[in-house]
Amino acid sequence: MAKRVILFLAVFILIIVGFLPLVVMLVRSIMVEGHVSLAAYRELLNSGREWRLLGHSFALSFLTAMFATLVGLPLGILFGRTDMPFRRLFPVLFTFPLLIPPYVTAVSWVSLLGRDGFLSRTLTPDAAKVVSAWLFGLPGCVMVLFSAFLPIIILLTMAYLKTIDPSVEEAGRLVFGWPQVLMKITLPLLLPGILFATLLVFLLTLGEYGVPSFLRYHVFAVESFTQFSAFYDFNAATAAATPLLGVTFFALVLERFFLHEKTLHIEPGPGSKYALVIRLGAMGKWFAALTGLLCLLVVVLPFLVLLLRSLSINVYKEAFLRAGDSLLRSILYAAIGASALIILGFFLGYLVQTRAFRFWRAIDSLTIFLFALSGAVMGIGLISLWNRPITNFVYGTPIIIILGYLARYIVIPHRVTVSILGQIPPSMEEAAKVAGASWLQRVGLVVIPLAKRGLVAGWLISYIFCLRDMGITMLVYPPGHDTFPVRIFTLMANGSPELIAALCVLMAGITLVPLGVGGMLYKLKGISLTRIG
């Protein structure tokens, strides 16, 4: 009984925080002065500009996903299957841009290649103009989002490599060399996972607002945000968001039918510890050098520029003075958000893993759908639902921010739980049941302790995503409760480049510190991003 009540409650909360805002938003968009009207949608369909923007969105998402996959897949194999030098350090370095808001990466690139950037100063005015024009457009957006989402492909490739039964590759090796084994055995087995990772990057790029907005490349997510934020036109904003909703939904339906069973569980397969290692020999150094060069270009160099630009105690003093309060608030809200996420995510993950209800697939799909949705769309939905005098205790307080985090990032603790619970033999819980333990006792005293390390890692990842959120927070934050990423964005209007650089460095710092502390405390024994996916 307790099990059903608690799991139903978890589903109910998910519907209230994630599903209901979208429904209210859609209903509101077709109601004009009490009557049904599709005017906003008609206008959307008749507007050539909207179709052009959709084309931009697709171009950006396709190119980002393609480049990230073409580069991330070989890197994932190099880090996960070979004896290349520094193969453990590189994934950590490449993951860095994923952990911070993508627009921070954009700021760092502008500091390097913008009109007054470090590199541009060494170029002729004409060349600097060409480079700057290149950065502020499709190529620049692709480059920034490529570096931000590349780690998703790398980490998921490494994770899915561990799910491959080593004996299959061993059998192949008896007949073929590694190149053929990789092409004929490993890659085909990896394909569903890689397609899932590519789809994830595609959808995340499709919903990305900060980078295209900052680099002035007009895409649908920016249009939806502008329609709402600049014109507060609910109907037009929702209509503009609908194609994104549709594409996301369609992509996830495809994922559900073609990939899902193959990608849901990414716990290491039996014998994965004994997987064959590709010996690179003398080539290893060359691969490491090339990887190092790429890492230098897409990770180290831009952030080094930010560091150099902000290298002054006075600038950091000003940064703390200007944004110290929002920094502390961000940490508090992210911690609360991550804690609420891990509780809700655990029960939803338990529901999906144990298939407790018949509609477990719908719950799983909804969590991915909410994650892939543009933050601005989610924000508009939340405002549609909660901006009423009777619900002011939500709308007028930071609770609305926490609800936004819960809706958008629930997939993280949910999927972590599914993955971790998949590694716990069902016999453990069954034994406790035979011994007379209630469901709550079994969960509290058997399942949670066994899943503890994974849940802590899930909390950390949730914390990082809450901390870096801007799409939702920007729209819904109540007066006096802006978070650090939002504060950086609002200070960008006429703020000095040195101040903005210092704020971005601080943003990276508050993201990385808990990861470092978490890593030290637990030494990441058996837990890593790659295992959680």
Partner 1 sequence: MECRGRGFSRKAALIFLVSISLGILTVSCDSPKRDAKAKTVVVYVSEDQVFSEPILKDFEKGTGIRVKAVYDTEETKGTGVMNRLIAEKDNPQADVYWANEPIRAEVLKQKGISVPYVSPNAKGIPEIFKDPKGYWTGFSARARVFVVHKGFKPKPRSIRAYVDPRFRGKTVIANPLFGTTTTHIAALFTLWGEDRAKAFMEAMKLNKVKLSTSNGESADLVASGEFVFGLVDSDDAANRIRQGRPIEIVYPDQGENGIGCLIVPNAVMLIKGAPHPDNGKKLIDFLLSKETERKLAIAACAQIPLHSAVETPSEVKRIEQIKAMAISYAKVARKLQEIQPFLKQWVGY
Contact footprint for partner 1 (CB under 8 A): 47, 49, 115, 125, 129, 213, 216, 222, 225-226, 229-232, 234, 322, 332-333, 335-336, 339-340, 343, 383, 387-389, 392-393, 395-399, 402, 432, 435, 437, 441, 444-445, 448-450, 452, 474, 477-482, 487, 489-495
Task: Give the contacts of 10 (CB within 8 A, at least 6 positions apart).
Answer: 344, 347, 348, 351
Nearer to partner 1, 283 or 435 (CB): 435
Element (H, E) at 287: helix 283-295
Least separation in angstroms between residue 246's CB and partner 1 is 22
Which position has the token pair 């997939």?
411
Give the span between the Cα atoms of 252 and 32, in whole angstroms.
Answer: 31
Q: Quick one: which of 292, 98, 65 has its CA closest to 194?
A: 65
Give the span between the Cα atoms of 19 and 494, in whole angstroms.
Answer: 38
Nearer to partner 1, 124 or 174 (CB): 124
Least separation in angstroms between residue 63's CB and partner 1 is 22
**Whole-Å CA distances, 353 to 1, 176, 253, 416:** 19, 38, 20, 11
Least separation in angstroms between residue 445's CB and partner 1 is 5
Q: Please report, for the chain, how many H helices and E strands are present, in that order.
A: 30, 2
Nearer to partner 1, 279 or 388 (CB): 388
**Whole-Å CA distances, 372 to 74, 157, 429:** 25, 20, 34
Nearer to partner 1, 161 or 403 (CB): 403
Q: Which two tokens stand for residue 497?
A: 């480049």
Judge contact between 304 and 118, C-beta under 8 A: no
Give the span between the Cα atoms of 115 and 96, in whole angstroms.
Answer: 26
Least separation in angstroms between residue 116's CB and partner 1 is 9
Nearer to partner 1, 150 or 383 (CB): 383
Nearer to partner 1, 83 or 116 (CB): 116
Nearer to partner 1, 160 or 217 (CB): 217
- DSSP strand E in 138-230: where? none
Least separation in angstroms between residue 195's CB and partner 1 is 34
Least separation in angstroms between residue 397's CB and partner 1 is 5
Least separation in angstroms between residue 312's CB and partner 1 is 17
CA atoms within 13 A on the CB side of 321: 7
Nearer to partner 1, 82 or 384 (CB): 384
Q: Tell me the backbone φ, ψ of residue 31, rounded to 5 degrees.
A: -110, 115
Least separation in angstroms between residue 387's CB and partner 1 is 6
Q: Which two tokens stand for residue 268?
A: 């290491």
